[in-house]
């Protein structure tokens, strides 16, 4: 029995790793960029290592490295990091009912690993429910953490010898992995409304250079999806009542 269980855990661990693999590879340019930028901006090797190891957030690392190098006041740096990180509050909220009653070690480890990428793999109604799915999440998230660390280290070693990798269009990879993870799940009207609103407003807000645009575009989109599904439910109930009367 124990052996069977161990086999299942081993299998889901592998599946977690394999499902995350395309994302691990898609962030190679970003990871290398983060590492090399830190060195180029005068961070010590230890500091450059602690950024991916502890802060562990690509967008925050890129922006903040520039701010620190330009001697921007600490409060501004922290506030900027807070704004960029604010989308993670939504991830925590979305997973709260599934994770809040778990032991501390699960909450802290999955919480620490809760990047855009791990969240993207945790969208199913059942994901992270039960030990098997938790192990899946832990290995998916853990492999992403180790990859991120590895790409950053390569960047740190290569340092100033590297050109700007985003200039040659490698940011395309991360966009495509999100497309591949999201689009197959857009199978009903509320989901379609959600992505249309998110797409339109994220572009508008980005063009306006509005820092909180991502979160607001997402909130508007969620509201749109939610309202559409409520409208559908109400319509369904109404037609049912009509049928009963006839």
Give residues 178-207 in contact with another protein (rule: CB under 8 A). 178-186, 190-191, 194-195, 197-199, 201-203, 206-207
Shorter beta-carbon distance to another protein: residue 146 or 200: 200
Of the residues 134, 138, 162, 214, which one makes contact with another protein according to CB under 8 A: 214
| Binding footprint of another protein, residue count (CB under 8 A) | 90
Q: Does residue number 70 form part of the binding site for another protein (CB under 8 A)?
A: no
- The CA-CA-CA angle for residues 71, 59, 218, to 5°, reads 125
Helix, strand, coil abundance in the chain, percent, nearest 5: 85, 0, 15
Taking CB under 8 A as the binding criterion, the range among 8-16, 96-104, 150-158, 238-246 that sits at the site for another protein is 96-104
Shorter beta-carbon distance to another protein: residue 44 or 239: 44
Q: How far is CA 130 from the centre of its chain?
A: 22
Of the residues 5, 10, 76, 94, which one makes contact with another protein according to CB under 8 A: 94
Query: Is 232 in contact with 189 (CB distance < 8 Å)?
Result: yes
Look at residues 3, 10, 2, 6 and name the one whose alpha carbon lies nearest to residue 136: 10
Q: Is the dihedral of CA 2, 106, 114, 228 positive or negative?
A: positive
Shorter beta-carbon distance to another protein: residue 37 or 64: 64
Q: Would you give the binding string for another protein spanning residues 227-246, x where CB under 8 A is met?
A: --xx----------------
Task: Classify 153 as helix, strand or coil.
Answer: helix
Of the residues 9, 40, 50, 62, which one makes contact with another protein according to CB under 8 A: 50
Q: Does residue number 174 form part of the binding site for another protein (CB under 8 A)?
A: yes
- The CA-CA-CA angle for residues 103, 86, 184, to 5°, reads 80
Q: How far is the CB of 187 from another protein (least distance, A)?
A: 9
- Burial (0-12, 13-18, 19+ Cβ within 10 Å), 24: buried
User: Tokens in use for 78?
Assistant: 């922290």
Taking CB under 8 A as the criterion, which residues in 127-156 touch another protein?
none
Q: Does residue number 176 form part of the binding site for another protein (CB under 8 A)?
A: yes
Residues 60, 12: Cα–Cα separation, whole Å: 31
Of the residues 91, 133, 149, 165, which one makes contact with another protein according to CB under 8 A: 91
């Amino acid at each position: 029995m124990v052996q069977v269980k161990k086999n299942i855990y081993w299998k889901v661990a592998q599946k977690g790793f394999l499902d995350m693999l395309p994302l691990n590879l898609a962030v190679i340019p970003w990871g290398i960029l983060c590492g090399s930028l830190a060195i180029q901006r005068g961070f010590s090797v230890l500091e450059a290592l602690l950024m991916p190891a502890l802060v562990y957030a690509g967008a925050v690392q890129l922006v903040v490295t520039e701010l620190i190098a330009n001697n921007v006041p600490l409060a501004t740096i922290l506030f900027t990091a807070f704004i960029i990180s604010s989308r993670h509050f939504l991830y925590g909220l979305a997973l709260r009912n599934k994770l809040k009653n778990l032991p501390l070690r699960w909450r802290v480890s999955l919480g620490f690993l809760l990047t855009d990428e791990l969240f993207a793999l945790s969208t199913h109604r059942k994901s992270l429910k039960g030990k098997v799915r938790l192990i899946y999440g832990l290995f998916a998230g853990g492999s992403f953490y180790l990859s991120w660390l590895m790409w950053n280290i390569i960047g740190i070693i290569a340092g100033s010898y590297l050109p700007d990798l985003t200039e040659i269009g490698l940011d395309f990879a991360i966009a495509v992995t999100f497309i591949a993870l999201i689009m197959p799940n857009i199978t009903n009207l509320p989901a379609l409304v959600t992505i249309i609103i998110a797409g339109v407003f994220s572009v508008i807000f980005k063009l306006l250079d509005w820092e909180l645009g991502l979160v607001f575009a997402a909130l508007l989109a969620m509201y749109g999806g939610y309202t559409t599904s409520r409208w559908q439910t109400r319509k369904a109930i109404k037609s049912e009542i009509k049928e009963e009367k006839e």
